Amino acid sequence: MKPSERKKMKHYYKVDEWRIIEEGFDPRHHEESESIFSLGNGHMGHRANFEEKYSGKSLQGTYIAGIYYPDKTRVGWWKNGYPEYFAKVPNSPNWIGIYIKISDEELDLNTCKVSNFIRELNMKEGYLYRSFVARFKSGKQLEVQAKRFLSMAEDEIGAIRYAVKPLNFSGTIEFIPFLDGNVLNRDTNYDEKFWDVLDAGVKKENAYLCARTRKSGFEVGYSMTCETLLNGSDVKPVTEKIQKAGFAGFSLKINIAAGDEITLYKYAAILSSLEHKPEELIDKSIQVVNKAAKKKFETLFRDHVAVWEENWSHSDIFIKGDPAAQQGIRFNIFQLNQTYTGKDERLNIGPKGFTGEKYGGSTYWDTEAFLIPFYLSTEPPQVARNLLKYRHKHLQKAIENAAKLGFNQGAALYPMVTMNGEECHNEWEITFEEIHRNGAIAYAIYNYIRYTGDKDYLAENGLEVLIALSRFWRQRVNWSDVKGKYVILGVTGPNEYENNVNNNWYTNKMASWTLRYTIEAIDLVMNEHPSNFQRIIKKTRFHYDTETSSWKDIIKNMYYPMLDERGVFLQQDGYMDKEQRMADELLPAERPINQHWSWDRILRSVYIKQADVLQGIFCFEDEYTTDIIRRNFDFYEPRTVHESSLSPCIHSILANRIGEVEKAYDLYLRTSRLDLDDYNHEVAEGLHITSMGGTWMSMVIGFGGMRIKEGKLTFTPNLPRKWKLISFNIQFRERILNVTISEKETSVKLVKGEKLQVEINGKLIICDRINHQ
C-alpha cells in the first residue's frame, strides 16, 4: 500500500484503541459487521447476529468447537485419492434469540426506522453492546440497549442483558426468548440440513433443546432461563410456554408506561458430547444454566472480565502515537485469545474461527506457520505443545492419507484441511499438490523446541512425526538425469496462483531442511533418550543407516531453481516465461484479481497471492545475508498482490529485516486492519483468524526484531516514524519479560523468573530488573 492509498483508506468503524464502534445502521454493511463484532470463548462462538428478528440479509452463525459435519464432496471429475467429504462447521442451534412484539407489530430493524444506532465491541472486557431507537410503522418509538458476552470463566455459559424503554407510548410489551434448532448453513454442497433436533421443550423455568449432527453424530444440549426487571425491580410477567418443532421458549408479557425500562436477562448453557455423555446433556445443561442464573449477570460478567484482564496482561501490545495501528493489533489479539485457549488438545484453530462458515472451520497449515509463534510467546508452553500433540494424535491418519496417494513404509502426508486427521479438502491442486504443509509441521516442532528448550518433546512425540514426514519426502522426490539433481514435480507452493508446477523453491527447501532436521533429531534422541529411541525404532521400523544415508544424498543433491542474472531464488521452473508485470500496473477495478479474473488468466499471470520464496527466506533467514534477502524481496514483493491474508505479515517482517521500515509499516497496516478495513472485500464471510497470528509476528518479530539465536533472545528493533513507542510482554522459558522500544532506547524488564542473558542490537546484557540499550 502506497502512502497515497493509505490516506484514502476509509475507516467504516470508528478508530478507538480498545473498542470497535459502528455508528449508524447501514444494512449494506450488516454482514460485514456480523463478522467484525463476533464473540467467542474457545468452547464456542457466534457472529454478531441481532437478538431480535431481522428479516434483512444476514449470515446466521453459532459455532461449537470441535463439532463438524462431513459434507459429501462435490466435484465434476472424481480422481483417485479424493477425500469423500469436506468438513463443514455447522451453524448450531440459535440461543441468542429474543423477539419483541408491541401489539401486532414486531421489532425488526429491516422494517422499522432506526436512529441513534451504536454497535460496540469492547475488546478490553470482551463484550458486545448495542443501542438504538426503533420507530414502528404506527409511530411508536422504542429505545433498546443490549449487552452480551460468552463467559471466558465458565465457557459453557452465554449471557444477555436486553433492556427496552418505550419513549412515546404505554401498553404491553411481549418478549419471546427462545432456543431454535431450525438452522441452516449457507455453505453446503447439497443444501442439506446438518442437524436433527432430538428434543425441545420447557421444564418449569427452563427451555431446553437437544440436537445431533447428521452423519458425524455430535450432540449438543442447550438450556436457557430468564429473569425480568421493571425499573430495576423484579417483575413477574404473564408467561406462556412455547414448544414446537425444534423450538422452545417463553412468551413474557409486561404492561409498561412511557419512560419505564424493562430489562430481560437471558442465560444460556451450551454443552456438547465432546465433554458430556449424550444422555445427560439436557439435565446437565439445565443444572449449569440455573447455577449461572443464581450468580446473576453482573457476577458472571465480573468473573469474565477478570479472565480478559489476565489475558491482556500477557498478550497486549501497546503502540504510542497511532490509534489506528493500536486498534488493529488489539483487534487481532482479541480474536486470537477468544478463538483458542489451549485447554483441549483435541482442538485447533480454523481460518475463520467462530466468525463464519468458509473453509469449514477446519485446521490448515496456518496453525504451524502463523499461530504457534503467538501462543509460544503469550501463553505457557503447554498451549503450543497441545497444538503439536494435535498433529501427533493424527499421525496414523496422515500415514493412511499418504497411502491413499500411493506412498508406503510409514510415510505421512498431513492433510491440507482436517477436523479429525483425515484429508477433507476437495480441490485437486490443493489436496494432492500443496504438500509443503508437511514442512510447516516439521518446522513447528523445531520452532517450539528452539523457543522453549523442551527437547523432551522430540523423544515423546516429535521424532515419530519427523520420521514419517521424512519418509514422505524421500518418496516424493525423484532423480533427474537431465539436471543431475533430485527434483519435486507437480506441486503447488504457498502461492496458490500457481498450480502443478515443478520445483517450487520453497517446497524443495522445506523438504531438504526437514530431512536434515530429522537426522539431527534422531541423533539427539539416540544420545539423550536411548530408551525412547529404542521404542521409536521398534514402533516405526526405522533403519538408521539405510534411511539416513538416502536422506543425506537428497540433502546434498536437491535442485533449487535460480535466476542467476538477478541473484534471486526462482519461485519455480518456468516462472520467468511469464509476462513480467508488476502489481501496481493493475487497475483498481481489477482487484482483487481472484474476484475479477478467470482462473486461467490468474494461473498464466506473474502475480503472486502470498509469500512463497519469501516465506522460506523468513523461516531460514539465518542462512542468508541481508543482501540476498533484499534482492529477493525487491524482486518478489512488487509482483505480489497480497490477496491471501497470510501475505502482508511475512513481507512486513522481511521489510523490517532489510531496513525498509516505512514499507514494513504500510504492510503492517494491511495485515492488522485487513478485516477492519475489508481490504479484500470478503469480511462478510468471516474474519481471517489465522492470519492474525501473522499480525502479531509482524509486530514482535518485525518491529521488535525478536529472534532466538543459540537459545538466547535477541532484539534488533525498528520503529516507523509515526510511532513514539511500543511495548509488549513475552513469555520465555519460565520467565515473563516486558520489552519497551522507544525512539531513544530499548528496555527489557524481567517481570517474573530468573535472570537471563539477552542480546539487544548486538550487545549482550544480563536481564535482571531493567536494562537499556
Which residues form the catalytic set? Answer: 496
CA-to-CA distance for 629 and 658, rounded, in angstroms?
Answer: 7
The answer to whether 174 and 107 have CB atoms below 8 angstroms apart is no
**Beta strand pairing status for 127-135 and 113-122?**
antiparallel
CA-to-CA distance for 108 and 599, rounded, in angstroms?
Answer: 41
Side-chain-side CA neighbours of residue 294 (13 Å): 6
CA-to-CA distance for 488 and 438, rounded, in angstroms?
Answer: 14
CA-to-CA distance for 212 and 217, rounded, in angstroms?
Answer: 6
And the C-alpha cell for 346?
A: 483435541
DSSP string, 221-247: EEEEEEEEEETTEE---EEEEEEETTE
Centroid of chain to Cα 326:
19
Q: How large is the C-alpha radius of gyration of the chain?
A: 27
Q: How far apart are the first and last CA of the chain?
A: 32
The answer to whether 414 and 443 have CB atoms below 8 angstroms apart is no
- What single letter denotes the amino acid at residue 140? K
And the C-alpha cell for 296?
A: 446473576
What is the phi-psi region of residue 157: left when phi exceeds 0, alpha when psi lies from -120 to 50, beta otherwise?
beta
CA-to-CA distance for 745 and 717, rounded, in angstroms?
Answer: 10
Closest to 37 (Cα-Cα) out of 353, 355, 360, 332: 355
And the C-alpha cell for 444?
A: 513447528
User: What string of H, E and C letters represents the secondary structure of 35-84?
Assistant: HHCCEECCCEEECCCCCCCCCCCCCCCEEECCCCEEEECCCCCCCCCCCC
The answer to whether 697 and 708 have CB atoms below 8 angstroms apart is no
**Beta strand pairing status for 712-715 and 756-760?**
parallel
And the C-alpha cell for 413?
A: 502426508
- What single letter denotes the amino acid at residue 589? A
Which position has the grid cell 525487491?
634
And the C-alpha cell for 677?
A: 478495513
State whether the Cα torsion 75-79-82-85 is positive or negative.
positive
At 458, is the secondary structure helix, strand, or coil? helix
Closest to 331 (Cα-Cα) out of 355, 348, 295: 355
In the DSSP assignment, the letter for residue 579 is: -
